Amino acid sequence: MVLRALAPAIAPRQSARGESVLDGRATPFLPMPSSAATASPSLCCQAELRAVLRNERLQVAACRACGTLWGEHSKRPDGRPWDESYVPPEFAKVLRQRREIQAGTIAAQLQRSSVPTPILDYGTGQGVLLAELRRRGLDAYGCDLDLNARDSVAPRDRLLQVHEPWGMPREQAPSGAFRTLVMLDVLEHHHDPVAFLQAQRFEHVLLKLPNATGPAARLARFAAGRGRTGLLEQLFLVGENFPHRWLATRKGVRAIAKAAGYEVVREACVTEVGTELPTRMRGAGAGLLTRCALWGAGLGLGLVGPWWSDASVVLLRRRAQ
């Protein structure tokens, strides 16, 4: 029960943080070849794909060159744009607390790397990172489709409207064009991250992404190989209107960055969940034993998170032409 319940917390189902810029109409589902999902090359390395899972809900294939997992969902998106009904109040509260911890680490990394400003926090959601960047005196703005996130701490004068899914805000900062893009828990929902990054002209891009090699993903692969596919389906958010489309490895991120015209400057694990795991779960049951088991699992994940986690932060720099 713990393993089956673990994935939604590590890969939160439509968190208030970043996925709100998504809409199914902008991310069409690409057909996966019927021949064991191996006919088309991977988007990351242009290498052969090896089938990992295939059922009536989800097909997952791994890039043979880097191990990045690519998912094809059977459920078609209903076209409904993001709104706050996706985020239950209790979930939003504990998620914001975790994001506040992460924001300090991410903002410090941006400062150490001396990224150029102004910074655009794309899919700012609750605005936790935006608030931290402003607290540190950085010229930063946030954008989203829905600027009324529950438990938002975003400075209202620093919010910009996104008018279409995967689009950029029409406004610029008073200080000029945005030079650094931040996407936390966003890009893994796009079916073609290479094409998206290629279309951007930012000097630096910071990504927070789910890992294909973290503890939950490894457990999911192990279980799927033995016929228990529930955990892997949850990692890909099967049944959601805004599911995960890919889970990356470090090598895969480097390949995606290179194909899009960027290079990796810095990468590190970031703790994604801790003892708040029982509250981060949905549909895991409210029984005392279940909650205690989840609390213990969250404690363990929190302790190993700085070294082995289901999420990574990666800083990219555009290569000189």
Does position 142 have pLDDT exceeding 90, yes or no? yes
Task: Identify whether the C-beta of residue 164 lies closer than 8 Å to the C-beta of residue 56.
Answer: no
Mean pLDDT of 109-116: 95
Q: 144: which strand partners?
A: 161
Q: Domain coordinates of the chain in residue numbers?
A: 2-318
Q: For all residues of the chain together, what is the average pLDDT?
A: 81
- Side chain identity, residue 276: E
Q: Lowest mean pLDDT of 71-80, 159-168, 236-245, name the range.
A: 71-80
**Higher pLDDT residue, 68 or 39?**
68
Better-scored residue on pLDDT, 230 or 9: 230
* Degrees to nearest 5, angle at CA 101 with 111 and 183: 60
- Residues constituting the chain: 321
Q: What share of the chain is helix, strand, coil (3-state, %, to 5)?
A: 35, 20, 45
| CA gap 78, 265 in Å, rounded | 38
| pLDDT given at position 102 | 87
124-128, 138-142, 251-255, 258-262, range with the lowest pLDDT: 124-128
Query: To which residue do tokens 């690409």 refer?
Result: 30
Q: Taking phi first (over 0 means left), then psi (-120 to 50 degrees means alpha), and beta for anything else, what does residue 285 get?
A: left
Domain spanning 2-318, CATH architecture: 3-Layer(aba) Sandwich (3.40)
Q: What is the pLDDT of residue 279?
A: 65
pLDDT tens, position by position, 16-67: 344 444 443 333 333 343 334 456 899 999 999 999 999 999 999 999 999 9
- Report residue 180's pLDDT band, with 50, 70 and 90 as the boundaries: very high
Output the pLDDT for position 305.
62
Element at 193 (helix H, strand E): helix 193-198
Beta-strand relationship, 159-161 and 140-144: parallel
What pLDDT is stored for residue 27 in this prediction?
37
pLDDT one-digit tens code per residue, 228-278: 998 899 889 887 778 899 999 999 999 999 999 999 999 998 877 656 666
d(CA 228, CA 320) in angstroms, rounded, equals: 46
Specify the pLDDT at position 274. Answer: 58
- Indicate yes or no: pTM above 0.85: no
Task: Give residue 77's pLDDT.
Answer: 59
* pLDDT score at 81: 55
- Which pLDDT does position 235 carry in this prediction? 87
Between 10-14, 75-79, 164-168, 242-246, the lowest mean confidence (pLDDT) is in 10-14
Between 189-193, 197-201, 280-284, 314-318, the lowest mean confidence (pLDDT) is in 280-284
Question: Going along 75-158, which residue ranges are E strands?
Answer: 119-122, 140-144
Share of the chain above pLDDT 90, in %: 52
Q: What is the mean pLDDT of residues 74-96?
A: 64
Q: Does pLDDT of 8 surpass 90?
A: no
As a whole number, mean pLDDT of residues 118-144 equals 95
